Every structure is written in structure tokens, then in C-alpha cells.
Structure 1
């Protein structure tokens, strides 16, 4: 059966037209350059947070975000005389709750009815916030990639200085890059699920998991001990360095005990690493070994913290304290 395509009479009323465009986030307004007054419809009044139908323009200008005000005032004044279409964006209010508005119309005589310049305001808040989020993500990605290349160059140089052979160099460097990959994956997953900071308990378990069969390992880091994603690599390198040294000479080489504990009190975070078997060939405790140099560079320079390490008959004791503010 053919559809009935016979046109029916339909008239746009002012009420139906206004309701339709309001649903699309479009508001109607007009202003008088000579008297510097603006007329606002219902949605405009909602945008500007006013109950007045006729408002002095300067009163509206005071509500514009301070960063946007000068440019918005210039564009607004120009729209009274410059011919042709115009569009300029600005924020009403300040901070995260500011509303983004796009003012659009035709300038000059074409946009005027009597003394009033007629135009629209379009709510573009959602689009602007999406753009801001995209720009932030891009900037963060660039920062992370730059940091990763910096870390890679530093690791390559440090490992090369201490390598005894080409296979030893390749194995050590590959292992350290693997740790960075694990840490980056953990931080990226945290971002993807909007979880924010990364729990050090999760990171430590990830780094120490390969040693679980050969030693008695206990990890007890409070849930309050978390780090931002851009610091995960630092802590991954610290855990990896301690674990690597222990696997060569200490508790993780077989049969020993390892206790890793951590807590944060609001101003500082404290981590302790205790091994129950004294290393037989551990790096020098005076801080001249490769491991000590790497720890010092990461903890003191990058994290602005401090650490102590001691080796005696009862085993190895390592403690680090970093500010959380």
C-alpha cells in the first residue's frame, strides 16, 4: 500500500519554533549598540544566570570568564558594524563549571532590525570539554613518550658502563625494558578505567611475581600508598633494582624471606624492604655500586626523597621515604 504523501497544512508558531531550537541548545538574543542593552529569551537568561529580559551589556560582560572577556567584548562590538557572518566563542563563568557559548549571526545592516542586532547563542559546552580532554590527552601522551625516550637513553648508557659482555648487556637491558613495559601497562590501564593513581601493592606484586616460586615473599603495602601514573616507572625501577640484586645475591636467589611493607600518612610515604638472609656478594653498602647509583638518582632526584640501606648478619634492610605533597 502506497504511503500517503499528500502535504498537510502546518504553521510554525513562535512558541513551537522557540521550543524546537531550545531543544537544540540554541537561544535567541538581540542587542542595541546605541543603548548598550541586550534582550534575552528564556534560554539566554538561563545561560547568563539572570531573570532579566532586558540587561545592560556591561552587566553581561562581567559574567564572562576573565580569560575570554577582552576578546569577547572586541568581537561583540565588531559584530554591530562588520558585514558578513560572524562566530566567536567564550565562557560564562569561571572554573570547571563554566558554560561554553558560541555567538553567531550576521554583522552590519543585514543583522539589524531597527536599532537591534539579532543573533543566536549556541551552547557548545559538551564539544569544548571534549576538545579540552583530547588536547590534554595528546599533551600527556607527548610528555610520556618524551620521558620514556629519556629513560631509555639513560638506562642504555648506565647498563653499558657496567656490562661485562655483549650478551650480558643485551640481557640486562632487555629485562629492564620489560619492567618499564609492565609499569606502563599498569599505569595505562589505570587511566583507561579512570582509576587515577596506581596502588604500589599492585605494582610490587607485578614486579616480584617471577620470583614467587623461589622465595618466601610477603607484600603488605597499604591501599593509601599510591602514586600518579607519571611516577609509576620510577617505583618500578626501584622495585626491579632491589629484586635483581636480591635474585643475584640475597633472599630471592633461593630459600630466603622477603618482606616489603609500605604506608602513607598524608605527607610522606615510607617503604621498607627486608631480607631475612644476608647477601653474600651484595653491592657495596657505601653507595658506590651501580645499583646504589640508580637508586639514588631515582629516589633523591626524581622523587625528592631519601633512603637508607644496611647489610648485616640478619640480612638486608632498605628503607625509603618520599614526600606525597
Structure 2
């Protein structure tokens, strides 16, 4: 190796290291512990969204730290002077129009290692990782919430079904049907764009939940659904699924869907702040209004609609078939 080659090699190696640091998004910094001045490379100033033309101090820089993290970060930086070995702390900073960015500060502690009264370290932009972690935490919390709600609902359905059936086989059949209806409703609930929550379309909810009943009997295609295009939130979808299932089950037992020539028409419209859904059965057996105390299925309907859905349910026992009008508040459907 010639003298020229020996001299050039270190410069080439340093340039490669600089490129590696740049590619990794690493910002370099030094902090003078005596006069509090803080220096960073170009990446650091861009990361913090501060002007490199002015003298910067740690105190001035800390003003960019999120108020909830500021005292913790100041205390941690001071404490690093007494810590032997590497340290790391994550915190939020405010940039631009109050945009939040997550920063990870890493360095080597202990005053013994200070050269020229300056501490050194790096800043990393870990916003993506933190957002992913927050997303996982939210997902875990949501799943826990959903499971608890479904277990509570399943327990309630089990209690209601046990009181409205006479044999264990009948109870198992009805309970399975109700739980299956809930499962179909939850399958429809999907995240909406731009963080607008989760919802299913009202028409899809009716179509999917009524599809199994359309296959019963001699004629297919005897169920028609034409409702307003509206989003149904996760909780509302669960309750509405129970309502649809109970109405369809009653129709299959006693109404239009109990005979091959019977038809069901589900229509709807928006009236002010309300969504009105009309359930019309035609071609079934002669309708006879129920007498005496309402059954558990009817109580479940009334309690679900008047409670979680903040609505009302009205029956019109016409000779040609029952006509049921369901009216709910539009904002209750989005929950």
C-alpha cells in the first residue's frame, strides 16, 4: 500500500460512515454542560424544526418538547451526567402547526467521559414506531371491550332464550341462531377511511341477515330491501342485528315467510333526524294480533329499540300481513 492510499482510506471510510448515518435518519448533537449551548447537524435542526442560524441552548430547545414530557426530559438529561453507560429516552416534540413528532434521544452518560465539557449523542425520529405501538394498544383495548360486550350480550341472550323455550334442543337452536346473527353483523363492520371509526352500511346489514330466510320455501327472491344509504356503527349493528333476527324469526314462524308465496318488503327513508324503516309482510297467513302478555322475543325487541337504539316500534296488524314501523335516531345508528 502506498502512502497516498493510506492517507485516502480514512477519508473514504468517514464519508461512508456519514452516508450511513444520513441513510439511517440519525441526527447528531452535542451539549455544553457549562454554558448550556446545544449544537446539532443539519438533520437535527430539520428534525426539531428550529433555525440553525441562531445560538441554541438546551433550555430553548426544551421549549419545543411536548408540555406533558418537558419536565421528565429536562430531569433525564441532567441525570445522565451521573449515569455511567448508555442511556435512552423517548419523548414528543411539537413542530410546525403543532404537529406531534416522537424523538428518541440516545447517548453516553457520566461526566467522566465528557470531552471539552460537552456531552454527545444522537436523536432518532421514532414517530412511525410510536404510532404503530399506539395502534396496537388501541386495537388490544378495542378487542377487550368488544369481547366483554359480546360476553355480556351472550349471557343476556342465554337468559332470555332459556325462559322462552321448553326444551334444551329448542333453546340450543334459538340461541345458536341469535348468536349467528350477531356474528354476521360483526363481519360487516369495517374501518372507515381517515380515522372515521367503524361502520357497516344499513342496506348491507339487512341484506346479509335476511339472506338465510330468503332461501326458505318454494320461491327465492321474495325479500326486497330498499333502505337509505347510511352507516351503522359497531354497537348499533349488534343491536340492530338482534332486531332483524327476531322479526325474521317471527315471520318464519307465524308470518309471510312461513309460506312459500309470502313476501317481505323492507323500505326506509330519512325524516329529519330520524331513520324510519317499514317492515311489510304480504301473502302470509291471516294475521291475528297477539293477546295477553308479550313474549320474551317481543320484550327483547322493545327493550333493544327503546334503549340502545333510542327509537320506537309500532305494529299495524292488517289482514294481508303485519306492517311494522321502526323509527330510530340517525345519530344512534352511528355509535
TM-score range, shorter chain: 0.7 to 0.9
Relative to 1, partners in 2 of residues 1:151 and 1:25: Cα closer, same or farther, differing over 3 Å?
same
Is the 1:100–1:124 contact (alpha carbons within 8 Å) kept by the matching residues of 2?
yes
**CA 275–109 in structure 1, closer or farther in 2 if over 3 Å, else same:** same
Q: SS in structure 2 opposite 1:149? A: helix
Residue 232 of structure 2 is matched in structure 1 by: 227
- Cα 1:322–1:277 change in 2 (3 A) is farther
User: What's 1:122 paired with?
Assistant: 124
2:254 is matched with: 249
Unaligned runs of 5+ in 1: 1-6
Question: What is aligned with 2:59?
Answer: 58
Deviation at 1:210, TM superposition (A): 1.7
Task: Go from structure 1 to structure 2 and tell me whether the alpha carbon gap of 1:281 and 1:37 turns closer, same or farther (over 3 Å shift).
Answer: farther
Displacement, 1:139? 1.2
CA 1:300–1:66: 2 relative to 1, 3 Å: farther
Question: Do 1:269 and 1:324's aligned partners in 2 also have CA atoms closer than 8 Å?
Answer: no
More off after superposition, 65-74 vs 236-245: 65-74
TM-score normalised by length of structure 1: 0.85
How far the C-alpha of 1:242 sits from its partner, in A, is 1.0
Q: How far is the alpha carbon of 1:259 from its aligned partner?
A: 1.9
- Say how many residue pairs are matched: 316
Give 5+ residue unaligned stretches, structure 2.
1-5
Classify 1:226/1:44 alpha carbon distance in 2 versus 1 (closer, same or farther; 3 Å): same
Following superposition, the deviation at residue 221 of structure 1 comes to 2.1
Give the Cα separation in 2 of the matches to 1:280 and 1:37: 90
Of stretches 108-117 and 241-250 in structure 1, the one that deviates more from structure 2 is 108-117
The answer on whether the counterparts of 1:85 and 1:107 sit within 8 Å (CA) in structure 2 is yes
SS at match of 2:82: coil
What is the CA-CA distance between 1:81 and the residue it aligns to? Answer: 3.4
Equivalence for 1:3: none
Determine helix, strand or coil for the equivalent of 1:302. Answer: coil
Contact 2:27 2:43 in 1 (8 A): yes
Corresponding residue for residue 275 of structure 1: 281
Task: Confirm whether residue 322 of structure 1 aligns to residue 323 of structure 2.
Answer: no
Q: Of 144, 147, 160, which aligns to 1:145? A: 147
Point out the more displaced range, 237-246 or 278-287: 278-287
Asked if 1 retains the 8 angstrom alpha-carbon contact of 2:287 and 2:318, the reply is: no
| Counterpart-to-counterpart distance in 1, 2:98 and 2:227 | 34
In the TM superposition, what is the alpha-carbon distance from 1:306 to its structure 2 partner?
Answer: 3.3
After superposition, the C-alpha distances for 1:249-296 in whole angstroms (9 at most, x for unaligned) are 212222233221245579543333222357756774898332231123
For residue 133 of structure 1, the aligned residue among 132, 135, 141 is 135
